[in-house]
Amino acid sequence: MYKAIIFDLYGTLLDIHTDESQEYLWEKMALLFKMRGADFDPSELKLAYIEQVNQLLEKKRKKGVEHPDIDILKVFKNLFKMKNIESSRSIALEMARFFRVISLDYIYPYPGVIELLEYLKEEKYKLYLLSNAQESFAFDELDFTGIAKYFKSIYISSGYKIAKPDEDFFKILLDQEHLSENECLFIGNDHTTDIEGANRIGMDSLYVHTNCSQRVVPEEIGAKWRIDSGDLFEVLEVIKSFER
């Protein structure tokens, strides 16, 4: 029925919780900045970080990108510049990874994810990831959780400066993988990004409602299949039905 299955990552395959509001995070980040020569107090750093993110996103919007994304490394490099400190990419990457680890409460595959991916690989489906995420975090977390090996290619929004539901992000994958939208099924947990994006480009989709999904989801979202239980084993059964 399909040649390829495209997955969202966080909230679809990986259960994750982060908290970037905690004071402890900004205290530790301010300490690390000071170790690198940039003197911020925690509240100043938090405000500057948010402002840098918003400024970079707004620059992309002014260039006509409806749903932009940014590379978080640029944010950390700009924070150093605010204190007249030059920083390398490796330093910015260190800051980004430290930021992620401190803000991360947990991350692991949902029950049924490995069984689903194993089955799809055995059945010779081409598997891809298309995720709104940061490359600085996502590739490490894909390796850590053991699921990177299942995917032919991985598309992370920060690397393309564009995010779902923008159809251009989907088109990048289709063009680079020489696929058409009617050959693919998209599986995701967010009806406003995953399902809407698939709808925009004319791709079939399967919505799975997980603990990371929005609480209130309209009855009609345009997905071809909908699993409100969040059970990935039910997703597996839907896909097995393709061959019956």
Query: CATH number of the domain that 83 lies in?
Result: 1.10.150
Query: Is 28 in the same domain as 143?
Result: no
Claim to verify: residue 146 and residue 218 sit in the same structural domain:
yes
* Residue ranges in the chain modelled with pLDDT below 50: none
Contacts of 172 (CB under 8 A, 6+ apart): 155, 160, 162
Domain match, 122 and 228 both: yes
SS3 annotation, the chain: CCCEEEECCECCCEEEEECCCCHHHHHHHHHHHHHCCCCCCHHHHHHHHHHHHHHHHHHHHHCCCCCECCCHHHHHHHHHHHCCCCCCHHHHHHHHHHHHHHHEEEEEECCCHHHHHHHHHHCCCEEEEEECCCHHHHHHHHHHHCCHHHCCEEEEHHHHCECCCCHHHHHHHHHHHCCCHHHEEEEECCHHHHHHHHHHHCCEEEEECCCCCCCCCCCCCCCCEEECCCCHHHHHHHHHHCCC
Asked which of 76, 105, 134 is the last residue of a domain, the reply is 105
The CATH number of the domain holding residue 156 is 3.40.50.1000
Q: How far apart are CA 192 and CA 195, in angstroms?
A: 6
Query: Is the domain of 121 the same as that of 219?
Result: yes
Q: What is the model's pLDDT at position 1?
A: 85
Looking at the structure, do residues 204 and 114 belong to the same domain, yes or no? yes
pLDDT, residue 244, reads 62
A 10 A CB-CB count for 108 gives: 13
Same-domain check for residues 96 and 136? no
Cα gap 110→207, rounded to integer Å: 15
pLDDT score for 225: 97
Residue that is last in its domain, among 81, 105, 129: 105
- Cβ neighbours around 172 below 10 Å, total: 16
**What residues does 231 pair with on adjacent strands?**
none
Q: Would strands 153-156 and 184-188 be described as parallel, antiparallel, or unpaired?
A: unpaired
Question: Domain total for the chain?
Answer: 2
**Residues 230, 117 share a domain:** yes
pLDDT in tens, 167-200: 999 999 999 999 999 999 999 999 999 999 999 9
Say how many Å lie between the first and final Cα of the chain, rounded: 11
- Shared domain for 60 and 144, answered yes or no, is no
Final residue of a structural domain among 105, 129, 147: 105
Whether the Cβ atoms of residue 183 and residue 204 lie closer than 8 Å to each other: no
99 shares a domain with 214: no
Domain that includes residue 216, residue range: 4-15+108-241
Quick one: 9 and 83 in the same domain?
no
Give the pLDDT score at 242. Answer: 83
pTM: predicted TM-score of the whole model, two decimal places: 0.96
Amino acid 196 reads: E
Same structural domain for residues 231 and 129?
yes
Read off the amino acid at residue 163.
A
Claim to verify: residue 114 and residue 214 sit in the same structural domain: yes
Gap between the Cα atoms of 5 and 242, Å rounded = 13
